[in-house]
Amino acid sequence: MKIITFGEVMLRLSPPGVERFAQTDTLEMHFGGTEANVAVSLAQFGCHTAHVTCFPDNPLGRTATSYLRRYGVDTNYIQYAPGRLGLYFLETGAGSRASQIIYDRAGSVFTQIRPDTIDWESVLADADWFHWTGITPALSQGAADCLLNAIQTANRLNVPVSGDPVYRSNLWQYGRQPQEVLPALTEGCTLVLGNPGLFNHLYGITETDIEAAARALQRQFPRVRYVTDTSREQLSASHNRLSAWLFDGQQTYQSPTHDIQPIVDRIGTGDAYMAGLIYGLLTFDDLQRAVDFGAAASALKHTIPGDASLATVEEVETLARGDSSGKLKR
Amino acid sequence: MKIITFGEVMLRLSPPGVERFAQTDTLEMHFGGTEANVAVSLAQFGCHTAHVTCFPDNPLGRTATSYLRRYGVDTNYIQYAPGRLGLYFLETGAGSRASQIIYDRAGSVFTQIRPDTIDWESVLADADWFHWTGITPALSQGAADCLLNAIQTANRLNVPVSGDPVYRSNLWQYGRQPQEVLPALTEGCTLVLGNPGLFNHLYGITETDIEAAARALQRQFPRVRYVTDTSREQLSASHNRLSAWLFDGQQTYQSPTHDIQPIVDRIGTGDAYMAGLIYGLLTFDDLQRAVDFGAAASALKHTIPGDASLATVEEVETLARGDSSGKLKR
Amino acid sequence: MKIITFGEVMLRLSPPGVERFAQTDTLEMHFGGTEANVAVSLAQFGCHTAHVTCFPDNPLGRTATSYLRRYGVDTNYIQYAPGRLGLYFLETGAGSRASQIIYDRAGSVFTQIRPDTIDWESVLADADWFHWTGITPALSQGAADCLLNAIQTANRLNVPVSGDPVYRSNLWQYGRQPQEVLPALTEGCTLVLGNPGLFNHLYGITETDIEAAARALQRQFPRVRYVTDTSREQLSASHNRLSAWLFDGQQTYQSPTHDIQPIVDRIGTGDAYMAGLIYGLLTFDDLQRAVDFGAAASALKHTIPGDASLATVEEVETLARGDSSGKLKR
Amino acid sequence: MKIITFGEVMLRLSPPGVERFAQTDTLEMHFGGTEANVAVSLAQFGCHTAHVTCFPDNPLGRTATSYLRRYGVDTNYIQYAPGRLGLYFLETGAGSRASQIIYDRAGSVFTQIRPDTIDWESVLADADWFHWTGITPALSQGAADCLLNAIQTANRLNVPVSGDPVYRSNLWQYGRQPQEVLPALTEGCTLVLGNPGLFNHLYGITETDIEAAARALQRQFPRVRYVTDTSREQLSASHNRLSAWLFDGQQTYQSPTHDIQPIVDRIGTGDAYMAGLIYGLLTFDDLQRAVDFGAAASALKHTIPGDASLATVEEVETLARGDSSGKLKR
Amino acid sequence: MKIITFGEVMLRLSPPGVERFAQTDTLEMHFGGTEANVAVSLAQFGCHTAHVTCFPDNPLGRTATSYLRRYGVDTNYIQYAPGRLGLYFLETGAGSRASQIIYDRAGSVFTQIRPDTIDWESVLADADWFHWTGITPALSQGAADCLLNAIQTANRLNVPVSGDPVYRSNLWQYGRQPQEVLPALTEGCTLVLGNPGLFNHLYGITETDIEAAARALQRQFPRVRYVTDTSREQLSASHNRLSAWLFDGQQTYQSPTHDIQPIVDRIGTGDAYMAGLIYGLLTFDDLQRAVDFGAAASALKHTIPGDASLATVEEVETLARGDSSGKLKR
Amino acid sequence: MKIITFGEVMLRLSPPGVERFAQTDTLEMHFGGTEANVAVSLAQFGCHTAHVTCFPDNPLGRTATSYLRRYGVDTNYIQYAPGRLGLYFLETGAGSRASQIIYDRAGSVFTQIRPDTIDWESVLADADWFHWTGITPALSQGAADCLLNAIQTANRLNVPVSGDPVYRSNLWQYGRQPQEVLPALTEGCTLVLGNPGLFNHLYGITETDIEAAARALQRQFPRVRYVTDTSREQLSASHNRLSAWLFDGQQTYQSPTHDIQPIVDRIGTGDAYMAGLIYGLLTFDDLQRAVDFGAAASALKHTIPGDASLATVEEVETLARGDSSGKLKR
């Protein structure tokens, strides 16, 4: 089972524990990016995953590659070019104090990626899935074009495509609007993550009911077979409730709700859902089991430091089966 | 807006996380003192705050000054003299295990402060507020005299004064009793923090109802315009519920109750309340908003390591408005 | 009051906080073993405790000895021999993610202990209690024989004996079955820890009700005066509920239930119960108070990093009396 | 004594000790910039120093301000604007392995500084010295213009100016060449740091002998009273020899050579020289003593972690007097 | 260029800095094994390297795999089986205090490797080099047999083989003597590392002069084309002098001597030599350059924490060309 | 072999590595006191050592006891009383930057020790040696009296006594001068550490030659059999040369000179000499061997973090025999 992901990977710098920026003299170093997080999670499930990206040709770029390799992601398709690595600074909150992110990704080497430099035919040749998110087309024209190439190639090769058309208003600085760019990308998707509000904003879908909006999305983009999303009740930075749903054009499969306390690391929990769901769809013949696996994967990520889930299939299945007792394993 | 605080600052030494003294080989180093904590909190709110104290003229004293400067407190009025820095050792508890403090402040350089060495006229010249606590007069005759000078000067200059006449039985070793010393200090206050039990102990007020005791306090000390306190339900070292009230001579303004879990650092949460309330009184034309701001400032401090709150006005207001969701800020 | 314990002590290696093995570059170093944990806990209660074990005659063995000495356990009866120190790797979970232990204790120097090398007569000469667990006889024939000597000597010297005949299926690799070995050891016990299921597995006791099974155990092993156990509701790796009971042949004493959140370190919480109970039985003339002390000792251990409880009598009594408020002690 | 410095301050991120980027999971956080390093050093000598710069209006910018304040630098003239903080990554070498810097400063908020936003008249009103380096005019037209304003204002107010026209070929990306920009800046200097090679490159001075080149520089820029530089023999990343010279138009004052082993942190050692020399020139009536003080300040910086020297006048004088024994001070 | 290495990889646990076992509560976690160290070093030089070994099928085994992947070693040929990971404990010395290793590798999963489980034909199919050491045949009969298969297959496929027949007297516990086993393995080598004393001990070679002994070795094992070794003067644990020589059957190429101070990590410096030499032989057409590259690679390793060198070709060449100045690279 | 030491033990707090106080947020925690350092060192040599002191009856006092126990010192004679633990703050220097100590020991619980509270008869009953230093009588009258009791008891019981009459001018604050107090203490000594300058200051000995001064000391105090001292050439905080001499009334035994580089921790190196010498005198029948053992013990201590040496007899003997190669021990 081989899954391809594409997108920027940033260096994440965060104070130890729940310290504030102003009081620390040390920063913990992780790497992350929404698509790469999906790849890392899937690699822990035993899948062959390869991440396509562009890193600076310096020790930091090589360290970023090391990070992906360490967790078992194939790094053979990574490009290296002069430039800077995108960064983000994360302050982890607790209780009523929110976590806070400061992005410093503008002008990173990834935004300078050239669409003609990746041979998607060969990257996707034997792939079973391709995953993208709305971050990539928001970064630069080159990144958007590169992604469109990827999706169209995947479609040509009959590789299923999942898209998470997340919208971040502080990106999209290169002169295009998401509404101009995202429809063509969504067009090629088998699976789309989102909710009626997002679909309204991006695609002009006016239905506000989940199933109705999902059906409207499928009408607009006939290749879309599955629509999915998580829903989250945020009681505090340390306590959330989370569930997920999956619509297959006919019915909605709803996962149980996970009560998550404490939250160790909130970042990447949506990516862990996507990884779990992709794994579920590729592995199980049972959509309920797939969405339950995804929701459990996301719930578990909240207990794991760093951007990407390092949970195994066995751990996710234990939780998906309803055992949240945290019983010591000897 | 300029606020002056006066009192001892100690070096705080605590094992990492929730380790016990007996099992650690490292101590984390913070600085704190109830009045300075108020100054640091107010500095984060953008106020000009200056703290008056006495430090040893050695690298530790300079490091203590650095601490105050780092967080934006004006250190120009600090005295330096030969002597030792007061210390306290803190072991942070969790769940049913209580946190524990071992003070080692006896004979510190602050207790040797001489009342004639501070030119309160010039310190308070353009001040908008002066804050003191009952720790200072408990330390030495010189400290008590120095404080009395300050309060009387503030009164003369029409600078509002807040007093937190906290009583610690293990202090007061220099031959005076709080009942002899505190009334003259309280006399000069605009705002007093405390509860009926404390007022009984210190001032012989016999009313046990909050409003009645507050009125009695105002009768005894006519300058007192506001009486306030927090009330705390301690479910465990990791879980508290907290609210605050403010009486203005006519009515009691009651804040909502904050459910606080987990508690990262319990120290200085009362000082954070005082800082929030002072900020509120100086900024808002609305006593309810002031007490709500104070209560939220205190609640937030429980999530911040160290003695002093490093929360911003925006963070406190988010919580005071009722948003305790801890939603990630990007 | 002198208490003797006997058993293997392992080096415990665990990632900082709740990190996973795959993402750490540092391991925290503790030492632990179920019987030694009891000894360390009792030493914090002010008891003279001595632990009998065998360590490698190298710097690691000496460091293990240092650990016991550091916490006040008498190490004069420890043997040193060529060989390896048993180890275990612990990954601490959080919320729905379970903690995980990987043992690496096979062939340790303790398993090579020779029954004739310990002079139990002199070790137990002035002892007030002897404690063992089912781990020891599961490790090697020599360890089992050595333990039998100890128990028989204790019986001869009228030293009360407690046994925790815990069964671990992945041990017992040396050719004997627990059913062959444990009855003779249980024979010498004054106090046995366990539940009907365990008693059925080990001794063929068929009663499933707690009191009935305890009575049956007493019939089978007439020296047994007390039967006890804890019961635990595992809501998550961070949240448990715990209580304990003690049967004295006539009635069952039931402790209150402790709601434990957060859990800092789950390891050794059963040993802390045993230590608390032994202390209670040796100190109080009141079985209810003894079981309450044990349950509180166990609850407190969940808040303390490492294998062994470092709580004092005063701390345990505060909690046993029902004060779980975690109020700051100055 | 008040000294003004102007320039970019970057966040410095470096692996602990001598680890490589690829093997660490933590980065130590310092702040530094050649001009601010001079200011911090001078603040440790008890001078009033103020640093003028531009920081992002976010928690990282505030943390950078905290850093300067912590070490006693006046931060009242700092501007805040939307944008990013410049960064650099430092890997510290040892022995034959060189230290390595990766800059990530392009497009930082400092480069966007606008020349009209700083009121140099008021900043320099009561100043005793102004210091700049060749980094600033290399960053952007705005920074270069702003610096020219500063120098011309200083000249008008008779504030002495020191310039360190260091040339970094990888800067100067905004369309100007150093040869076009630096002469006008050097024109206003009282003191210039550099060597014949640099003077040739920047100003076309062809003399290769130090004194001859210094005289030529003074002929070209008549305001220049002093020319100075350090010279360094690099035996390894852990072992250097360092001396300094100062030419006053008549004679050259040569410091003794310091044998420096081990080197704890090589960064900022030139800035420490400049700080020491400025202090010496402003304090001593003796040029030999001034250059000796500068050289000793630089030598001491090699033993101090971080970008800026934290040595006191007393420490520098001890070494300048020839006592490098490192004798324990009680 | 593809290089295959084969051998055990152990978990290395060491106190931070130069602390002793008895005084630390934390252990740093690296992985190492003489052959894998060669693979990691070569991977930093840009070579495709694959390491063949056997790991436990548990999180520790997967973490060991992560380590190799992180540094770019192909881990596709690694086997997983039930068992334990070999360990060693390292205390790093300083000055006159020696570093100390405690091995705990007996009975590790690697010793249980079965010779028939590795398809050497396919592993070595397109390899350019195969490297082994005398540790492997000292561990178990299975490991020795497996290695013999590898060497014979390499010979059949004309893959050059290097052997480092290091002798450790505390290994060889499975009933065979090195003299019985090593000659057949040495038989297949192109390159042998060692000195006359070792050759005498293992192969009965009586010549004591280096060249004479090397010629004798070539006579006994005609396939051996190169004989090599390092020589080291140990002035202290922090200061060594190191050089290397290579004999090609005709002449001896002698590297310059590197003066190494301070020594950051002494472990794996011989492996770094071997990696450098293999790289040199495969890349340069110049034996002098090859041995110089090897010696410089070894010298650089002394400055890098961990078992394996993380130096790049460029760094090694800088030192090999004689530049040991450690000049800061920007 | 049982050795008794008596004196204050302080908590030592020091920034990590060579950081300065002003730049750290963490302090490493060791315990030390010159006499206890001797006890700890001797315990590592396998001697039974007991340290007599007074600690506060709080968690810090118990942690100090743990420290001594951890390293094998008998703590049964330690008293506990209300009060504070003496402290000192240590900043470790490097190269030309000196280490710096800030004492905060005034009024510690040890100074309040009462001479009648220690039963020296029983403490010294079976002792082979008693050791004291000039710190103790400098702290308080009670401490001085207590020490005199101890020495006189030792004399009565024929227990040899060593004295290190070190003079610290900033102590002696309780109204007595060393010249009044030390002669009576020195009177009881078998072995005295010091040099002619010290002997002149304390005892009025005017000889300036070592042997002549030593003979004069013996004339003044006839019980003194041995006079000894170390001599140290301080090249930098990281590099010293050290040797020792011992005069037995007839001849001077001179140790070789140790070149010590790098220095990891300079504190307690004199105590390590004393421990080594005591061990040597009690163990070897050879004064040259004793002084060589002492000098090597002192040299080794420079490589060990903390106040006390943790070197073994084997390690000291290796160095005393002249092997300073730091060769890796497997």
User: What tens digit of pLDDT does each residue of D217-254 get?
Assistant: 999 999 999 999 999 999 999 999 999 999 999 999 99
d(CA D124, CA D118): 11
Residue D226: the pLDDT is 98
Residue F120: the pLDDT is 98
- State the angle between helix axes of D34-44 and D269-283 in degrees (0 to 180), rounded to the nearest 10: 50
SS (H, E, C) C178-191: HHHHHHHHHCCCCE
- Identify the CA nearest to E21 among candidates E106, E105, E97, E84: E97
Residue F198: the pLDDT is 97
Contacts of A101 in chain B (CB under 8 A): 328-330
Q: Respond yes or no on whether ipTM tops 0.90.
A: yes
- State the angle between helix axes of B269-283 and B34-44 in degrees (0 to 180), rounded to the nearest 10: 50
Largest CA distance in chain E: 56
Let me know the angle formed at the C-alpha of C152 by C147 and C154, rounded to the nearest 5 degrees. Answer: 95
User: Which pLDDT band holds residue A3 (cuts at 50, 70, 90)?
Assistant: very high
Residue A278: the pLDDT is 98
Contacts of B69 in chain D (CB under 8 A): 69-70, 72
Return the number of other C-beta atoms located less than 10 Å from residue B264's C-beta: 21
Q: For chain D, give the percent of residues with pLDDT over 90.
A: 98
**Shortest Cα–Cα distance, B120 to chain A (Å):** 31
Residue B58: the pLDDT is 96
Residues in chain C whose Cβ is within 8 Å of chain D = 23-25
CB E306 within 8 A of CB E273: no
d(CA A112, CA A109): 5
Residue B327: the pLDDT is 94
Q: Which of B23, B101, B237 sits opposite C326 (nearest CB)?
A: B237
d(CA F220, CA F202): 12
β-bridge mates for residue B232, sequence order = B242
Residue B323: the pLDDT is 95
User: Which pLDDT band holds residue A72 (cuts at 50, 70, 90)?
Assistant: very high
**Shortest Cα–Cα distance, C99 to chain F (Å):** 29
Using the beta-carbon criterion (under 8 Å), do F59 and B13 form an inter-chain contact?
no
Q: For chain D, give the percent of residues with pLDDT over 70.
A: 100
DSSP alpha helix (H) spans, D267-326: 269-283, 287-301, 313-320
Residue with tokens 């003239």: D77
d(CA F291, CA F277): 6
**Shortest Cα–Cα distance, F135 to chain D (Å):** 14
Q: Is the dihedral of CA D313, D318, D319, D324 positive or negative?
A: negative
Contacts of D71 in chain B (CB under 8 A): 66
Q: Do strands D48-52 and D26-32 pair parallel, antiparallel, or not at all (unpaired)?
A: unpaired
Nearest CA in chain C to E86: C104
User: What tens digit of pLDDT does each residue of B191-234 get?
Assistant: 999 999 999 999 999 999 999 999 999 999 999 999 999 999 99
Residue D294: the pLDDT is 98
Q: What share of chain A is helix, strand, coil (3-state, %, to 5)?
A: 40, 25, 40
Contacts of A59 in chain D (CB under 8 A): 20-22, 89, 91, 100, 102
Q: Which of B20, B23, B234 sits opposite C325 (nearest CB)?
A: B234
Q: Do strands A252-254 and A258-260 pair parallel, antiparallel, or not at all (unpaired)?
A: unpaired
- Identify the CA nearest to B258 among candidates B196, B307, B314, B323: B323
Q: Do strands A252-254 and A239-247 pair parallel, antiparallel, or not at all (unpaired)?
A: antiparallel
- Chain B: touching chains (3 or more CB pairs < 8 Å): A, C, D, E, F
Would you list the domain boundaries of chain E?
2-320
Residue D217: the pLDDT is 98
The answer as to CATH 1.10.3720.10 being correct for domain C2-320 is no
Residue F179: the pLDDT is 97
- Identify the CA nearest to C330 among candidates B89, D66, B122, A202: B89
- Chain A: touching chains (3 or more CB pairs < 8 Å): B, C, D, E, F
Number of residues written out for chain B = 330
Return the number of other C-beta atoms located less than 10 Å from residue E176's C-beta: 15
Number of residues written out for chain A = 330
Residue C306: the pLDDT is 97
Residue D23 dihedral angles phi and psi, to the nearest 5°: -115, 10
Q: What does the pLDDT average to over F96-120?
A: 95
Q: What is the interface size between A and F, counted as CB pairs within 8 Å?
A: 5
Using the beta-carbon criterion (under 8 Å), do D17 and E305 form an inter-chain contact?
yes
Q: What share of chain B is helix, strand, coil (3-state, %, to 5)?
A: 35, 25, 40
Nearest CA in chain A to F23: A25
Number of residues written out for chain E = 330
Return the number of other C-beta atoms located less than 10 Å from residue C215's C-beta: 17
Residue C227: the pLDDT is 98
d(CA F119, CA F106): 26
Q: What is the interface size between C and D, counted as CB pairs within 8 Å?
A: 5
d(CA A71, CA A83): 25
User: Which pLDDT band holds residue A80 (cuts at 50, 70, 90)?
Assistant: very high
CB F89 within 8 A of CB F14: yes
d(CA D79, CA A74): 45
Amino acid present at E313: V
Q: Which of B20, B96, B267 sits opposite C324 (nearest CB)?
A: B96
Rounded to an integer, what is the distance from CA D223 to the centroid of its chain? 21
β-bridge mates for residue C240, sequence order = C234, C260
Distances (CA, A) of B42 to A18, B282, B312: 21, 11, 9
Contacts of D23 in chain C (CB under 8 A): 25
Nearest CA in chain D to E315: D97
Residue B165 DSSP code: -
Q: Which of C70, C303, C306 sits opposite B95 (nearest CB)?
A: C303
User: What tens digit of pLDDT does each residue of D20-68 get?
Assistant: 999 999 999 999 999 999 999 999 999 999 999 999 999 999 999 999 9
Contacts of C258 in chain B (CB under 8 A): 96
Low-confidence ranges of chain C (pLDDT < 70): none
> By three-state DSSP, how is residue D209 classified?
coil
d(CA F197, CA F212): 12
Q: For chain E, give the percent of residues with pLDDT over 70.
A: 100
CB A87 within 8 A of CB A10: yes
Q: Which of B29, B58, B59 sits opposite F27 (nearest CB)?
A: B29
Residue F165: the pLDDT is 97
The average confidence (pLDDT) of chain D is: 97
> Under CATH, to which class is F2-317 assigned?
alpha beta
Q: What CATH architecture is B2-316? A: 3-Layer(aba) Sandwich (3.40)
- Chain C: touching chains (3 or more CB pairs < 8 Å): A, B, D, E, F
Question: DSSP string of B180-244?
Answer: HHHHHHHTT-SEEE--HHHHHHHH-----SHHHHHHHHHHHSTT--EEEEEEEEEEETTEEEEEE
Exposure of B138 in the CB half-sphere (CA atoms within 13 A): 19
Nearest CA in chain A to D109: A104
Q: Do strands D10-14 and D87-91 pair parallel, antiparallel, or not at all (unpaired)?
A: parallel
User: Which pLDDT band holds residue D202 (cuts at 50, 70, 90)?
Assistant: very high
CB B156 within 8 A of CB B185: no
Residue E60: the pLDDT is 97
Residue B26 DSSP code: E
Q: Which of D93, D101, D267 sits opposite E303 (nearest CB)?
A: D93
The average confidence (pLDDT) of chain B is: 97
Q: What does the pLDDT average to over A240-262?
A: 98
User: Which pLDDT band holds residue D99 (cuts at 50, 70, 90)?
Assistant: very high
Bond before D15 cis per omega within 30 degrees: no
Contacts of A71 in chain E (CB under 8 A): 66
> Under CATH, to which class is A2-319 assigned?
alpha beta
CB F24 within 8 A of CB B11: no
- The two tokens of residue D30 are 């310092």
Residues in chain A whose Cβ is within 8 Å of chain B = 17-20, 22-23, 93-101, 103, 168, 170, 234-239, 262, 266-267
Strands in A186-225 per DSSP E: 191-193
- The two tokens of residue A279 are 């794994």
Exposure of C231 in the CB half-sphere (CA atoms within 13 A): 10
β-bridge mates for residue B89, sequence order = B13, B102
Q: For chain F, give the percent of residues with pLDDT over 90.
A: 98
Q: What is the interface size between D and F, counted as CB pairs within 8 Å?
A: 83
Q: Which of C66, C71, C72 sits opposite F71 (nearest CB)?
A: C66
Using the beta-carbon criterion (under 8 Å), do B85 and F63 form an inter-chain contact?
no
Q: What does the pLDDT average to over E297-301?
A: 98
